[in-house]
Every structure is written in C-alpha cells, then in structure tokens.
Structure 1
Amino acid sequence: GSNGTVVLEGVYGGRPVAVKRLVRAHHDVAIKEIKNLIASDQHPNIVRWFGVEHDLDFVYIALERCTCSLNDLIQLYSDSSVHERPTETLVQECKTENKVTLKYIDEDIELWKSNGCPSPQLLKIMRDVVSGLAHLHELGIIHRDIKPQNVLISNNRCLSAKLSDMGISKRLPDDMSSLGHHATGNGSSGWQAPEQLLHGRQTRAVDLFSLGCVLFFCITKGKHPFGCYFERDSNILNNRVDLFLVDHIPESVHLFSLLLDPDPEKRPKAQEVLQHPLFWSSEMRLSFLRDASDRVELEDRENESELLKALESIGAVAFGGKWGDKLDTPFIADMGRYRKYKFDCTRDLLRVIRNKLNHYRELPKELQGLLGSVPEGFDNYFTVRFPKLLIEVYKVMYIHCREDGPFQKYFTSTVA
C-alpha cells in the first residue's frame, strides 16, 4: 500500500489479527490513523483496533482480521472479473487461491437476484458501508479514501462490511464543516470527488461521492459509473456519468444521481442515504405506499391541492397510459366489484394497492395466488408492473409531506 504499508497475519493478545506494518518514517500517518480508529472503532461497521507496537524501522498496528475486501468479494462472485486496472490482478486470482478464499465464505452466498437486482445479502453489505460512514461523519471524521479495497468483509455468523484504512482520514476542527483548500493527502484515482481532484474545499460530501461509486460497483458486479480505469478522473471532472447499467432499478438511479452530483452541496448526508428507498424491505415499501394513499385521500378533490397536482403529474412516468392495462383480468374483475377506479389517476392506483393490501385475507384464493404472499410477493407483483411508481411517489411525498408525523420514519434516520 501507500507509505510502504504491508498487511500481515498475526496474533495479538491471543486473538488472530491483521497486522498493518508502516515504515517508521511515516509515524505521523500511523498516529493519525490510530487516533481516528480509537475514536470510531466501537461501531460494528468500522474495523476494530487492538493495539500498536513499534521497533526501529516500523510501526505495527493490530487490527481486526477480516476475510477479504469488498473488491475481492464482488469479483469472486460476479460472472466475470472486472479488474480495477488492466495491469492489476487479484492476489487470490488463481483457481487454487480462489478456493482458499471461498473456504472462509459460505459458498451459497447470493449477491444478485436472477433479475440482476441486488440480493438482500448484498443490500445489507451496502448498507453496512453507509452505516460505518454515517458513524465517522457523526464524529467529524472524513475518511477521504472510500473505495472497494478499503471496505473489508467479515464473516462472523453473517457477512458484514467494515470501513478500514484511515491513513488519510481527517478529523474536522470543532464546529467546522470543511478542511479548507490545503488539506494534505489524496484519495485513490477513480474514486475521488471532483473537488478532491481539483484540490478544493473538502467536506463530508467527498465521501458521499466516493460512496456512490462504491455502491454502483456493488450493484453492477464491478463496473464503475465513470467508465474504465484510465478515463475515470477525466470523466469525473467533466461529469460524464453513465447510469445505464442500473436503469432497471429506478431507486438506484435516483440515489446515484444525488450521490454523484458534481455540486457537493446537493449530495445527501450519510444518515439520509441510510433511509433511501433502495434499502427498504418489501414491508417498508408497501407501508409507504399505503401511508401515501391515506395521506392523499385527505386532500380536497374539488380544489385540487399542490400535493394532488404533483402526484397526478407523475402518471406518465409511474405507469404510462392507463394502469389498468398492466393488471391481470381476475384482478380487474375483483376490483370492479367494489368501486370504480380511474385508470389514468395515480391517486386511484395507490388506492387500489392500499385496499387490496388491507383486505388481502378476504381476497379469493385465486387472486391471493396471483398477487403472491404479503409482503414480498405482493410488493413484487406491483413492482414488476410499475417499476417507477415507488420512487416517483417518494419524490412527491419528500417535497410535500416529509415533515408530516406519519412520514418522518421514511425520511429521517434514527439509526447511527
């Protein structure tokens, strides 16, 4: 690594550890890393620090031993390896070494579903990265070198991700939000925010940009939103971003558009990312659509409110044409038994989802079989037919209702 860093296996205090050896000449780097690790390592998504020793030539930091890096994990489980650089190869690339690595990780791991979407396992790993970053930011620490190689994977009972390598991290001075224009140390090529590349003012937002690149890397089996290795820095500086590979997941397009915004002021905070719909369970997704329907039912139809206008304006994107055309005949027949719905109305689509969810147990068995079980099957039925509905409704409710009591749980994180 940088500064002549080598990582070795070792034992410290009777426990197996990873020993990070730094050249003594870079003692200041080691001291800073240790200080920031001590401040932050009581969090499950930050690598743990156990101790430090030194001799005439080196400083040795004893750290929690993990199984592999996020970079290794994604490449090992993706269909085809996509290396970080044309000249680089994985340490564990040869077949025999791959088997050694896989012995420490369950072989039945599924990181991607058959439809190309991230599995619950992968979403959990991605959320771990965000959670670790939110913890650092709460302590006033900017990591400044977030990349797949600096996220370590632990396999104690279940896979979890931990941020590591705090060598160039900086702790913000009290009550300050930025490091100024002369912060020393650079992140890694291809993973830095534009303001880092331009040696500008650095805030927590530099980590959010890098986070966007890392989460994209996870979902796309090792691809990068700014292209191949040699083009990335230039593309980052010129905002040439390509989200085509995640087009099939509208929630991720929305999140990456925010995280990779060239304007650091427009990027969300790490705590806000934790609450993003990309990470919602089926239960949370359905709960949100039901609450949204309940909320718009309170609006006066005669004097159309701003909320109703905004909601109806998303119809072309959310379902296009008439939403009834995308539903099965038995569903339409059952629906029409109780009331009439307008098939070009977003409000009515939300109402039918809410009504069938609330009265699911009373539905005919045939219809229950068609919709699938609650919550996963039911959520999937509507997501397949209206993939953009949730995120479009989310954007409307964020603007108009995020301060409302019932909606704060969707927009305000209480989890560190």
Structure 2
Amino acid sequence: MKSIDEYISSTPQIAEDGGIVLGSKRTTAYLVDAKTGRLIYTYSMPSSPATQDNNTTFHHNGTIEEESLPSYTLYITRTDYALTSFIPNSDKVLWNMTVAEIGAAALCKVDDAFSGDIMESDKSEPDVHFNMPLPCQSRALIYRRRGQDNKMLPEADSQGMLPIPTSQPNVDNAATPVPDKNVDTFHLENIIIQTMVGILLVFIILFTINKILQDAKSPFNEGIMKCSERLSMPIRSILATLVGVFTHSRDLVAELNLDRQLGNPHSPNVPSKRKKSRKSGKNGSNGIKSDKDTSSGIGLKYADVDADNKLLLNFLQPSIRTKGGRSIGKLFVSSTEIAKGSNGTVVFEGIYEGRAVAVKRLVRAHHDIAFKEIQNLIASDRHPNIVRWYGVEQDQDFVYLALERCICSLSDLIQIYADTSENAYPNQNMDGESSKHRLYLDNLKGIILDTDLMNENDCPSPLLLKLMRDVVSGLVHLHDLGIIHRDLKPQNVLITKEKFLCAKLSDMGISKRLIGDMSSLGHHPTGYGSSGWQAPEQLLHGRQTRAIDMFSLGSVLFFCMTGGRHPFGSPLERDINITKNKVDLFLSEHIPEAVDLFSRLLDPNAELRPKAVKVLAHPFFWTAEMRLSFLRDSSDRVELEDRETSSDLLKALEGTAPVALGGKWDEKMEPPFIKNIGHYRRYRFDSIRDLLRVMRNKLNHYRELPTEIQEILGTVPEGFDGYFRRRFPQLLIEVYKVMSEYCKDEACFQKYFTSSVL
C-alpha cells in the first residue's frame, strides 16, 4: 500500500478509459520560540497556501543575528497534498481530496546534542529544567487533516483528529497498582516539573498551529479551520486545568520536602518494612523491592502523575529521561539492571501502563530475533507456565519488550537452596558470580525459601516437584503449538511468587515454530542454544525436532534434583561429554524413578526420548497417594492373572523380583508385622505378587489394624508409602515398567499413563 506522498509522486496518472488523476504537494515551515510559541520565521514557496494575500503576513523582513535568536526553537512543518480526478475526456472533476500534515522538528546546539535530553533554559534561570517535547535532531508528525468536497463520502471523524496510534494492543487490562511510597522527593519534584512543562509545550505548539490555520484562507484549509475552531475552547479549558494541577503539585512537593526535613516517620520516603512490602504483592507487581532500590518506586509514581496525559505525551515525546531511567512510549525503563544476555541483550526493571515489568532491551540490529520472540510469545503467553508479554516499544537503537516481572531464575533459586542447605553439593555452575549478584541472592533468601526444596530423605519436596512440573507443563504447551524452544536451561526458567512459587519458560529468541505437519527444522537451522544444555544433534548440526527440548529438560531436572550439578560434568567438558554420551546420574540413584526419567530424556537417540506430555505422567511426579493407588490397582490386576496358567504378565512381573525386592522381603520388615500378616495366610517372601497383596490388604484395612502395626507403618498416605519406599526403592518403577508394557491401554490404568491426573 502506498502512502499519499508516494502516490502523488507517481502522478499524473492516465487511465485506459481516458480518466486523469493529478496531484500536488506544497510545503511550509515555521520557526517558533519553544518556550513562548512566538512565531519567528515563515519559510514557504510563493504559491504556498500560507503566503496568499491576507491581512497578516508571517514573513520576517531581513535577517536576525544568531545571537538574538531564542535559546531553544522549534520548527513546525506543514505539508499540503491534493488529488483531483477528472471524468474521462472531460474537464469536469469526478472527485478531489486534500490532506494536510502538521509536524514538528527539534534541532539542538552542538553542546546540547551531546548533553542528554534534559536541557536548561538559560543562565538567568539556573533552577529551571524541562524536557523538550521532541529529542534533539528528530521529527514527528503530530496532526493530520483530510478534506474533500461534497462529492466524497461524509467525514468519518467528526472531531478532526486521527486516533493516536499505539505501539501494541493491550494484552491485559489489569488495574493500575497503588504507587510505591518509597520514592525520593527530589525525583518526584523533577518528574512533576518536567511533566507539567512538557504538557505546556505541547499546547503551545497546538496553539501556534491554531493561529496559523486561522490566518490562512486557502481552499485547502477550509476543513482544517473548522477543526481549529473546535480546538480553541478545549485548549483554553485544558490550560486552565493545568494551572490548577501545577499549583496542587507544587503544594505536594512542598509538603514532601517539609516531611523530609522534619524526619516525619509517615513521610513517603521512609522505606517500608519487609513484611509490608511482601503483602503489597497484591497490587499486581512481582518485583522485588529492596530498601535501597527506589527505581521501581519512581516508575510507579511517574506512571501515576502522567496517567491523564499519557497518550498525547507518548506521541510527542518518544523518549523522556529522568534520573531513575527513561520513558519510551508507554514504557518506563528504569536504570536498574536485572540481567544480561547474548548479543547485547540487557534486562531492566520497568513500568508498562502502571504495571511493574521486566524490560528486555534487544539491539535493533538483531530485530529478527526480537520479532521472532514477540511472535512466539504472543502465540503462547496465555499459559500459566509461559512468561507473559505485555507490549513492545523501540527507539533508534533498541527494541524494548515489556515482560512479566519475576523474582529470580530457576538457577538463582537452586543456588540459594544450595547455599543454605547443610547437605548441599558444591555448585560448580555458578563459578565467577559477581559479588553484586551474590548480594542479590542473599536478599532473596528470606523471601522465597518459605519451605525446603528437598525433604529429610533427600527427595524433592512437593514445592520442588511442582516447579519441575511447571517447566514440563510449559514445554507441553509450546510443543502443542509447534514451537521448539531450543534454549532451555535453568537461567531461562523464571520464578514468580504470588500465593506460591511458579516456574515459567522465557527467552524464546532462538525458538522456532514448525509449520503445518513439519516434524523437524532440518539440518541447518540458525541458532544452536547455550553451551552445555544442547542435545547432541544440536552440537553435531543434525536434524532438530521437539526432542532437543526433551534432552535439555533432562539436564534441567537433574540440575534441580542435585542442587545445581550437571549430568555431563563441569562446564568446560559438557559439550564433549554430551557428544560421547558420557553421562553420570550417580547423584540421583537414590530415587530410581528419577534415574529412569533422566535416562530416557538424555538418550542420545532422539527418537527414543519421551514426549513432554508423557513426562508429566511419569511416576517421578506422582504423589504418595498416587503411588499407593497404582500399586493397589496393580495387585488387583495381578490377582486376576493368578487364576490363569503361564501368564506373560505374571512371569514378567516376577522376573523383576531380584531388582525390585533385593532379596526376601520379610527380612526387611519388623517381626511384629510379619507375625501379624501370618495370622491370615501364608506368603512367599520372594514373590512380588505376594508383597503387593500384603500392601493392598493392609491399606484397605488400615483402620482395623492394631495400634502397634499402625505405628510401624505410619500414617496414610505419606507414612505408609514411605515405609515401603525406603525398604523397596525399586519396587514402584519395576512394577510400572511391566504394567506399562501389558496394561497401559486398559481403562483402569489410563489415569496412570496420561497427564490429565496431574
């Protein structure tokens, strides 16, 4: 689709039937004082609409010395476009259209161009600082008017103004959170002054445009002057309102300064205690607020002060700098850095439409990565285990993604546990951590470690199991959409905390989406993930399928289970060990279900790795109640087989007895318990079928057991399950393997082999 400027440049156009379309373009520029709005010069061609005969001329006779020019000036530009179509073989007009565009440009002195966006008025007013409505050496279209005669369609916009464009549609209409009270009054004072002066400058420009349009009598301006008349009263009303708001703001700043000087304990700049800051999480912000960090507070306060005029200022001020950061469109980017990534990527704290966010700044030269990440986030971020995406802004150098604010990464969380656990393994993955990041982790300890990640048996706690299940669940969602993450690692799994901790997948800059029925990306896709977390086919540039994420998942789950260790060794040797399949799962061997899952996920043959949805149903993620239910149902199923001769199922089950039992099972139980079960029938102590029968009977009749036996077995389900799990750790996984081979399609076992129960 062509713009009107491009279309007019292609005129005159002559149709096959003889119809002719003519076009014209006229330009005018006005130099005005940026502080007062006074018109200094008018630049135009003799035929320009603004210079036709009228009672007032804006041309300045002679020249003005550079020294006498105002310190800061603005150029207001006007471009008039006209299109006229004639009836074939006639001079009668078929239709015509006019479009007028009003723009503004700011040019700074050499010194100002290198001194930032905040400028001083002059030496006679040393305390006055304000933001120019446009950054130096920049232009912006601020007004457009379309006009036409009665032969055209009626006007679509009766207000005479185009809707102000937004960079992205809103993803979430959450309420604006309560501003953080921990804000420095100096910053607040600067923000109020800069905001109010910026708004005044905007209306000075509009007022000047209004005057220019009123004095122009060209036919092109008939529609525009109607609009200007409608604008006059609103401008006066808004200016009167601004005076009142400015007075109230000045009083607020004075009150804040007085509170600060008197040391008022109720002053907003007094940091809140940790418990109060944690309760404030209800406002929708997941950000961490430390006592010394006020950048997020500045952002919230700024968003609150500027709420009423945000749309107009976003359009005229693409970049507003403050001491705490900068504003780009709807996004306030704090100067507080959260993390760094590859290719110049940096993550900052920020505010987007009143919501605390993490701002991912990508170098604009890598716009393809940013575009791909945005596409895949839009497609997937409605899932609770995918980081939410709220919007995007950009400037000349960077693209800024506004993402859900999280408290830390999975890598950080595991290290915090490793640092606080007496039995934790030394973390080799965190070598070279800066003291600043270490301090950051120390500040998080009291916030996120409400419960342990490992229980007393050195097994994953329910919290850790949930977080690992969150990772798998997010991967299931991506794979269902045909998206391959391709860079899954603990640093790319983020943790949020509202009512409880939740893990979410992030950083999909090199993710790929399979199109249609595609099952792989081929042998030469761009981007290969992070060293030490890639599948062997990625390292060897082989065919890439969803299975590469499953391999990375195996390493991530092992990392969680072992306090930060890696199944392929130290960072420098991991890639070589991955290609040679030199894996070491020794640290997880006390949990046979984990070893079984990790072995499947880390299989060098991509086709043998399980799918993400199958991983969710693996016994590794089962609760104690689920494990007991499965063993009881397996016992019932085996009892049916017992009546038949030469049962393949029974033979396969008993064939695992040496591994599952590790000898005769009566030798691992207390004499009172063995005596109790002997009252009812005789058992073979080398039979898995008989052990399952004992477990089923005691579970079904638990309340009828003597108190002594109940105390031996423990409570149901955790205690009961733990009693047999400690004595026969291999029992569950061996029975699971047999039943999955012979009974997984039977109705009563469907719930154990699908993820719907989790």
1:136 aligns with: 478
Provide the C-alpha distance between the structure 2 equivalents of 1:110 and 1:84, rounded to a whole number of angstroms: 21
1:152 aligns with: 494
76-85 or 49-58: which moved more? 76-85
Query: Which runs of 5 or more structure 1 residues have no equivalent in the other structure?
Result: none
Q: Cα distance, 1:330 vs. partner? A: 1.3
Provide the C-alpha distance between the structure 2 equivalents of 1:399 and 1:193, rounded to a whole number of angstroms: 28
Q: Cα distance, 1:52 vs. partner? A: 0.4
113-122 or 277-286: which moved more? 113-122
Q: Cα distance, 1:303 vs. partner? A: 1.3
Contact 1:72 1:90 in 2 (8 A): no
Q: Does 1:76 align with 2:416?
A: yes
1:327 aligns with: 669
The normalised TM-score by structure 1 is 0.97
Which protein has greater RCO, CA pairs closer than 8 Å, 6+ apart?
1
Query: Which 4+ stretches in 1 moved above 3 angstroms?
Result: 85-91
2:74 aligns with: none
Matched length: 413
Q: Does 1:57 align with 2:402?
A: no
Cα distance change, pair 91–312 in 1 and its aligned pair in 2 (3 A): farther
Q: Does 1:366 align with 2:711?
A: no
Q: Does 1:282 align with 2:624?
A: yes
Q: Deviations over 1:349-408 (max 9, x none)?
A: 111100100111111111111111110000000001101000000000011111111111
Secondary structure of the residue aligned to 1:199 is: coil
Query: Which runs of 5 or more structure 2 residues have no equivalent in the other structure?
Result: 1-340
Amino acid at match of 1:98: L
84-93 or 334-343: which moved more? 84-93
Cα distance change, pair 88–233 in 1 and its aligned pair in 2 (3 A): farther
Contact 1:212 1:256 in 2 (8 A): yes
| Percentage of matched positions with identical amino acids | 69
Amino acid at match of 1:182: H
Secondary structure of the residue aligned to 1:294 is: helix
Q: Deviations over 1:36-80 (max 9, x none)?
A: 001000111000000000111100000000000000000011136
Amino acid at match of 1:387: P
Cα distance change, pair 90–309 in 1 and its aligned pair in 2 (3 A): farther
18, 43, 60: which is aligned to 2:358?
18
Provide the C-alpha distance between the structure 1 equivalents of 2:549 and 2:459, rounded to a whole number of angstroms: 24
Q: Does 1:200 align with 2:542?
A: yes
Q: Cα distance, 1:231 vs. partner? A: 0.5
Q: Deviations over 1:18-50 (max 9, x none)?
A: 000000111111010001001000111000000
RMSD of aligned alpha carbons? 1.3
1:316 aligns with: 658
Q: Cα distance, 1:186 vs. partner? A: 1.2
Q: Cα distance, 1:280 vs. partner? A: 0.2
634, 643, 649: which is aligned to 1:292?
634
Alignment of 1:190-269 (within 5 A): 190-269=532-611
Q: Does 1:182 align with 2:498?
A: no
Amino acid at match of 1:100: N
Cα distance change, pair 53–103 in 1 and its aligned pair in 2 (3 A): farther
Q: Cα distance, 1:85 vs. partner? A: 5.7
Q: Cα distance, 1:304 vs. partner? A: 2.1
Secondary structure of the residue aligned to 1:191 is: coil
Provide the C-alpha distance between the structure 1 equivalents of 2:741 and 2:488, rounded to a whole number of angstroms: 30
Contact 2:429 2:565 in 1 (8 A): no
Q: Cα distance, 1:302 vs. partner? A: 5.3
Q: Cα distance, 1:173 vs. partner? A: 1.2
Q: Deviations over 1:69-111 (max 9, x none)?
A: 00000001113651426444475213xx333223542x43200
Q: Deviations over 1:174-226 (max 9, x none)?
A: 11110001110111000000000011100000000000000000000000000
Provide the C-alpha distance between the structure 2 equivalents of 1:38 and 1:98, rounded to a whole number of angstroms: 31
2:386 aligns with: 46
The normalised TM-score by structure 2 is 0.54
